Amino acid sequence: MAEKRDYYEVLGVDKSADAQTIKKAFRRLAMKYHPDRNHEAGAAQKFEEINEAYSVLSDPNKKAAYDQFGFAGVDPNNAGAGGFGGGFGGGDFSSMFGDIFGDIFGNRRGGGNGPREQPGDDVEKLIDITLEEAACGCEKQIEISTYVPCDTCHSTGCKDGSKPQTCSHCHGTGRVQMRQGFFAVEQTCPYCHGTGKEISNPCSSCQGTGRVVKKIKEKVTIPAGVTTGNRLRLNGKGEAGLNGAPSGDLYIVIRVKPHKIFERDGNDLHVEVPISFCTAALGGKVEVPTLSGRISLTISEGTQTGTRLRVPGKGIKSIQGTRTGDLYCHILVETPVKLSDEQKKILRSFEASLGEGKSSGSHEPNKESFMQKAKKFFDDLKG
């Protein structure tokens, strides 16, 4: 059985997200993965996972229990942790998901059983940026193909200044009843799609929808501190709605490209710094790159490979602006290569000199420690 994912991760929201943000994230994902819309393998399971996450995070009591105890807090079999129950057993299913299913089947904004608007869908756009751009912030211009309001009819969907008429099938209510034997099922009017209006003389540019597909350009300001997976929302910059209904939102999804020198860990940066054998033994200074320029790093005498040196404040400033990360320099002592005969002779003489004066202490502490551990290991095997 697959391991459960964190509910906030499932909906793609932060733990600090408010109820409206959680609901909007659920609406978007539910419409994307609903089995009646998405027939790809795994869509139904994804839809169930989304529903389960929303059933918990949309309920203040369940959300509080989940935040404190995790999955145990919403497990109906775990009364000791204050479990409220996951899934859908403890809630009003119709009130929780009715408006979502209405969206999926064309039954959008509006109150009661009257005609409803059909706002445009949200749009996602992936942007690749460099680590430097992520650290300092930047502006990007993007181009997307999306629905925009029709200029010919000014979003009315009607030709030559004509006006929509009341739908003759639902009489302007946007709803019709379908009878099957003893049962009557109310559903969105299939003729006007819930708008309550009919367009008898549709606009030739948009065919009566009030919108057309067009390539548009948008300038996006990316704040400093973003990282891969962050999403920026541009309100009302998504698809235009049908016949003048509100537009959806545009979501910019950030992807930071790998860097040739630095590796990022949260707000900290890591860099590998190769130094010579002599610098490691005698100490010295080396130049190290940072995102804001070069700095001089002091190498202590006897520095070993793997030594990590911290440079405070040379990482990335957090997106909240509360702190700046650090730069961690990982020392790599390089072994000399392609030595001449004379150089090899000097090194052998130097190695021999290390064995002299043992009483004053070892010049190779790691080797000595390793040999002692190896001796104890073999002694234990004999033992």
The reply to whether 265 falls in a domain is yes
CA distance readout (Å), 379 to 1, 365, 370 = 46, 21, 14
Query: In 3D, which of 253, 270, 274, 273 has the Cα closest to residue 129?
Result: 253
Question: Which helix (DSSP H) or strand (DSSP E) does residue 95 occupy?
Answer: helix 93-104
What is d(CA 279, CA 215) in angstroms, rounded to the nearest whole number? 58
What is d(CA 341, CA 136) in angstroms, rounded to the nearest whole number? 51
3-state secondary structure of 165: strand
362-371 pLDDT, tens digit each: 676 676 677 7
89-132 pLDDT, tens digit each: 344 443 444 444 444 444 444 445 556 677 889 999 999 999 99
The reply to whether 373 falls in a domain is no
Number of structural domains in the chain: 3
Q: What does the block give as tokens for 332?
A: 């790599």
The reply to whether 5 falls in a domain is yes
At 111 the pLDDT is 47
| Banded pLDDT at 380 (limits 50, 70, 90) | confident
The DSSP symbol for 202 reads B
Show the domain range for 323: 260-341
Angle among Cα 17, 18, 23 to the nearest 5 degrees reads 95
What's the CA dihedral at 53, 56, 60, 64 to 10 degrees? -90
Residues 265 and 233 in one domain: no
For the entire predicted model, the pTM comes to 0.61
Residues 67 and 80 in one domain: yes
CATH of the domain at 134: 2.60.260.20
Distance of CA 325 to the CA centre of its chain: 20
What is d(CA 348, CA 178) in angstroms, rounded to the nearest whole number? 96
The reply to whether 357 falls in a domain is no
Residues 95 and 212 in one domain: no
